[in-house]
Structure formats: structure tokens, C-alpha cells
Structure 1
Amino acid sequence: MSLGKAMTVALPHIRVKETAAIVLAALALAVSQAAAQQGGAAAPTPRPKQKKASELIYKQEPPRIFERVLEKSTPANTSIVVSLGKQRAYLLVDGETAIDSPISSGKRAGMTPKGSYKISEKDADHRSSVYGDFVSQRTGKVVRAGVSTKIDSAPSGTVYRGAPMRWFMRLTNDGVGMHTGILPGYPASHGCIRMPDEIAKTFYSKVVIGTPVTVTD
């Protein structure tokens, strides 16, 4: 047997696999270098597709009204509990749930402050003194929408018109309250507690100045 044949026969099977792996790695490196030379750096890994706002909305259970409990409501036995974590508001009569409703609270932590409050004002046709639109004095049409009087100046020829807050029930001195508003399915307000219109109207009809309200997790 010649020396060449002897060496060929003596190569272990594992050495063949190692050689193949080295060859494949070298080929991959060559392809990568060629791509870099032709088109610059290799293309970055694509980012995950950003979800649409509608895909971030979770389904809220509709309001539930327990008429048997609600009809027992009096100014003395009625209270409200708001759960920020559950995004629900509860009208309680003697501690029993009369209404269980979805809400939308402050879009950032702390905007709807937790704590114990009492209804300090009721205004069926309230308008915000901070958030609203600048409208033309001549035509009444909106010139600039979604403004804040804290940071925006009125363009010439316009006046401020506050955002409507029907069935407003004030909780804090700085303007946080409960009222009719849009519920997108997640916390989205500037701090107030938004409710469906008919539910806000019912809450409004059952509470008085001094009704206790607890805002919790």
C-alpha cells in the first residue's frame, strides 16, 4: 500500500465532518465580505412591525346596571369606587354594586390621583377651563383644535372654547372629575374619569355634593 493510500484510509470519520464545517464557514465569510463590498454594510435586522393603535385597544365589558339595587339609592347610602387598574367605576348602594361601568382615566400614572374624595361640584353642561379649541370669533369654526390654555396662545381673531364635559362631578380643586367622554379602551384622559354618557347621567342623578368617592388601583 502506498503512503498516500495509507493516510487516506487512516483519516477518522470525525475529521471529515470538521473539514466540511470549516469549508462551509469559509464560504459564508466570503459571501458576507462580498456583500459588504458591493452594498456597504450588511442590511440591519428588520424591526418588528409596529402595531396600529386599534390593535392596542382591549375590549371593555359594557356597563351593567342592577336595577333592584339602584332603586334603593339615597343620598345617605350611595358612594362611588373607581378602579384604575380595572378601568371600571362602581356606584354602590349600601356597599352593594348598583352600576358597574367601563371608564377611561389619566393616560399617564398619577394623572388621575388615587385617594378618598367627595363630590364638590355638579355641572350638567360643564366645559374645561384648560383643554379645548381656539375658534374664530367671526364664524365660530375651529381654527386650532386640542389646545391647552397652559401652553398655547390664541391666534388673532379667535377665542377659547373649552371641551364639553357633560354631567361633570368634581373630585379635586385642580379640575379632576367624572364626566361623559370617549372611551378608547385604555387610559387616555388628561386626568378626568371618562364615562359613557348615559352612565355619567345616571351617576350624576344619584350623587349629591358630599357623596364619597374612592379612587384606587
Structure 2
Amino acid sequence: MQYTKILLTTLMLSSMANAKSYFKTHDDMCENTETKQQCTNDFNSVRNLQIALNRDKNIEVNLKTDGKWGEKTKEAVITFQKHYGLSHTDGWVGKETKTKLDMISKNIKFPKDKKVKHVKLMKYNTYTDFRKHTNLRKSFSVYEDKKLLSHANGRNTELKVDISEQRVRLYVDGQVALCAPCTTGAKRKLEPNTGIIRNQCTPKGTFKIQEKIADKRSTIFGKMYQGKKLVYKGDRRKYKGKKAKYVGASLKNWMRLTSGGIGLHASNYVKRYPGSNGCIRLPYKVSRTIFKSVRKGTPVSIVN
């Protein structure tokens, strides 16, 4: 009898412990699920993530709990990360975010996990295979050759941005070491995420990286505050209101191409169509890889 009580108590405590560390014991969740470097986005983990975000009264999100990772789930994660002041606000559900999720969801009773047949992720050993099996215009998939990337030293690298495919390629010793989605400039296009009309195409031609700044702020695009109140966002040159404090938009891993302010940088808003104000937006992880692989003077060709 005593043994049974001890066993039941142990199981109960174990269950409580697992409930408090549900997310910490699961894999990361993120975008670009078709590549071997990214996340599997397990159905149960994503569904419970959506439930936890919906139940958090500190943020206002209303996600469909379908267990599918998508743009709305990613944006809700970014809202969550920003609200709690986490060090990463890129929508990637990593260790820090999972720890915070466990803290705010310790009283949530999640549904029983469903048995879902997972699709085996494709692994491409060569760029030729990747190109053959990937719709480069539509896919968010990223190709990386880690062996080639390990040999990058700035002197043996070059970049190519293809506007028609919305893709950036990093070459090391003349071979494709990385191929990733990017977002280039657009004319007269309203960007839904920011409500800003983009009106500058990315210039075509051959350029060289003029400067590298790991944590740059835009001197043109950003937000205007009066006290703590946001009164304007967009091109500061068009602001006509009362005196306000300007906070430039983040341009992490900035690589300048022109004196007119065109460059490559990290962004949360990488789409499969042109949508920037001339710059080349890159996914955060991709921007870090490129930033450390190139140097001032690295050639960059922009083609269509």
C-alpha cells in the first residue's frame, strides 16, 4: 500500500514537472522547414505553442490552433518575444523563448499529443540537387554547403542577388556555398506589415561592399515618439508633426553597397516578392552567415 502511494506521488510529480517544462523538452520551432538546417515544427509542439500564445493575456493574438507553422504564428511569437524583452525577436522559438513559454503556460493543460506521421525532410548533398528539387521563386528553403562556408575568408567570396528569383547566393572559390530567399526593392507597393508604401527598386549592376556594421540603425526609416507614444512610423523626412524623438529601424548585419543607402541587412519581413525600399532583406540566420563570410570590397552583382 505504501509502495503504491509512493509510486503514484512520483508519477504525479513527474507529470507536473513535464507540464512545467513542456516547451523546453521539445525541438526549436521556426520557419524554412524544408531544409535540414531548420526546424521540423512538430504538430503537437506548434499546436501547443499556438494555445499558449492565445492564452497569454499580455499579448493579443488569435491563432488557429491547427499545429501548422505559418506567418501568423511567427508574427505572434515575435510579439511575445518583444513584450517580454527577450534578446531574440526574430520569431525563432529557441531556448530562451521556450523557457519563457513554460513560465507563462505552467497552468495550461494541453491536449493529449496526437500521433502524426512526419514527412522526412529532404537533404540535398549538392547545389545541383537543391536547384532541381526546389521552386526557387516560391520556396523559403535555404541551401548551405558547410564545408565550403568554412573556407570563406572574404578574399575568396562574392555575392549574387537575383531579383527575378528573389534569391541571394554566396560563392566561395567560385562555387555556391549558400542560396537563400531575399526581398528586394519595389515601386509603389504598400507593405501590409508596416503600412508603409515602398517606392524604390533595387539597382542592378556590380557593386562592392563599402562598410560592415553588425548593429546599425536606419537614419531614414523608423518611428517617431512623443514621450512613450508612437506618433509616426516610416520615412522621417515626410514627418510633419510636432517635435518628436526618432528611433531608427534595426538593420542588423548591415552591408552597404551604395552611398545612397542601399545595402543588405537582416529583417523579419523576407517575402517571396519585392517589397523593400531598395535594400536587400535577408533572414537573420542567413545575414549572420553572409556577414561573417564577406569583407569590405567583396563584389556583389545584382541581376534580373
For Structure 1 versus Structure 2, the TM-score category normalised by the shorter chain is 0.5 to 0.7
Note if 1:132 corresponds to 2:219. Answer: no
- Residue 158 (structure 2) aligned to one of 59, 69, 79: 79
- Residue 43 of structure 1 corresponds to none
User: % of aligned pairs identical?
Assistant: 34
Larger Rg: 1
CA distance in structure 2 between the aligned counterparts of 1:69 and 1:98, rounded to whole angstroms: 6
Q: SS of the residue aligned with 1:128?
A: strand
**What is the one-letter code of the residue matched to 1:166?**
K
- Residue 174 of structure 1 corresponds to 260
**What is the one-letter code of the residue matched to 1:208?**
R
Q: SS of the residue aligned with 2:186?
A: coil
Note if 1:161 corresponds to 2:251. Answer: no
CA distance in structure 2 between the aligned counterparts of 1:61 and 1:198, rounded to whole angstroms: 13
- Residue 200 (structure 1) aligned to one of 267, 276, 287: 287
- Residue 42 of structure 1 corresponds to none
1:196 to 1:121, Cα distance in 2 relative to 1, 3 A: same
CA distance in structure 2 between the aligned counterparts of 1:168 and 1:110, rounded to whole angstroms: 18
- Is the 2:182–2:271 Cα contact (8 Å) retained in structure 1? no
**What is the one-letter code of the residue matched to 1:212?**
P
- Residue 16 of structure 1 corresponds to none
Q: SS of the residue aligned with 1:117?
A: strand
- Is the 2:155–2:294 Cα contact (8 Å) retained in structure 1? no
- C-alpha distance after superposition, 1:169-206 (max 9, x if no partner): 00000000000111122110000000000100110111
Task: Please state how far the C-alpha of 1:63 moved relative to its aligned partner.
Answer: 1.2
Unmatched 5+ stretches in structure 2: 1-71, 73-136, 188-198
CA distance in structure 1 between the aligned counterparts of 2:239 and 2:253, rounded to whole angstroms: 27
Q: How does 1:44-193 map to 2 (within 5 A)?
A: 59-108=138-187, 111-136=201-226, 138-139=227-228, 141-145=229-233, 147-153=234-240, 155-181=241-267, 182-193=269-280
- Is the 2:252–2:266 Cα contact (8 Å) retained in structure 1? yes
- C-alpha distance after superposition, 1:126-156 (max 9, x if no partner): 11111111112x33x42222x2123223x32
Number of positions where the alignment pairs a residue of Structure 1 with one of Structure 2: 157
Unmatched 5+ stretches in structure 1: 1-53
- Name the structure where strand makes up a greater proportion of residues: 1
- Is the 2:218–2:251 Cα contact (8 Å) retained in structure 1? yes
CA distance in structure 2 between the aligned counterparts of 1:110 and 1:158, rounded to whole angstroms: 26
Moved over 6 A (4+): none
Q: SS of the residue aligned with 2:237?
A: coil
Q: SS of the residue aligned with 2:242?
A: coil
**What is the one-letter code of the residue matched to 1:189?**
S
Q: How does 1:205-216 map to 2 (within 5 A)?
A: 205-216=292-303
Calculate the aligned-residue CA RMSD, in Å: 1.8
Task: Please state how far the C-alpha of 1:164 moved relative to its aligned partner.
Answer: 0.8
Task: Please state how far the C-alpha of 1:66 moved relative to its aligned partner.
Answer: 0.8
